[in-house]
Amino acid sequence: MKIVSAILAMVLGLSAQAAQLEITAEANSVVNTADYYRLDFGTTFVHSRLSQSYVLRNTGATPLTFRDARIWGSDFAAFHGCSRGLEPNETCRFTIEFRPFFEGFSSGRFELNFAEDFVVFDLFGRAHRRM
């Protein structure tokens, strides 16, 4: 079994260990716990849109084979350019969006799966109506 390691380097200058992938956040705050990340979009208005983009880099010596990407949670969406896999030192970009349709707390999950490893984001956000 292949063991992989990654680094999550946030734009804010914080970093944490994870798998053979390097993920660089381009906004918001992310908390890492191994291969699992927590992304909290905070509070916004109903029918608004917040997004968080990342660059994923294969820091290993062998290619990563893309399997699939999945998103759960009706108020979240994800878009990615990782479908062809990643050669060593190659990058791809993905974006996660929070688009609340109703007032209240929302949660979801985003998974980016490679044959050799995976990355999981637990997603959270809260929405309220404009006064």
* 26-30, 82-86, 114-118, 122-126 — most confident range: 122-126
- CA–CA separation, 93 vs 16, rounded Å? 19
Q: What pLDDT is stored for residue 25 in this prediction?
A: 47
2 in a domain, yes or no?
no
Q: Give me the numbers of helices (H) and strands (E) for the chain, helices first please.
A: 0, 11
What pTM does this model have? 0.74
Q: What pLDDT is stored for residue 24 in this prediction?
A: 46
- CA–CA separation, 7 vs 117, rounded Å? 13
Q: What pLDDT is stored for residue 85 in this prediction?
A: 87
22-31 pLDDT per residue, tens: 554 444 445 4
Pairing of strands 7-9, 15-17: antiparallel
46 in a domain, yes or no?
yes
In this predicted structure, the answer to whether residue 127 has a pLDDT above a threshold of 80 is yes
What residues make up the domain containing 11? 7-87+94-128
CA end-to-end span of the chain? 55
- CA–CA separation, 59 vs 11, rounded Å? 18
102 in a domain, yes or no?
yes
Measure the CA dihedral 82/85/90/95, to 10°: 10
- CA–CA separation, 113 vs 103, rounded Å? 31
Domain count within the chain: 1
1 in a domain, yes or no?
no
Q: Residues 124, 105: contact at Cβ < 8 Å? A: yes
50 in a domain, yes or no?
yes
The CATH number of residue 29's host domain is: 2.60.40.10
34-93 pLDDT per residue, tens: 568 899 999 999 999 999 988 888 888 888 888 999 999 999 999 998 888 888 889 888
In this predicted structure, the answer to whether residue 124 has a pLDDT above a threshold of 80 is yes
77-103 pLDDT per residue, tens: 999 988 888 888 898 888 999 999 999
Q: What pLDDT is stored for residue 23 in this prediction?
A: 54
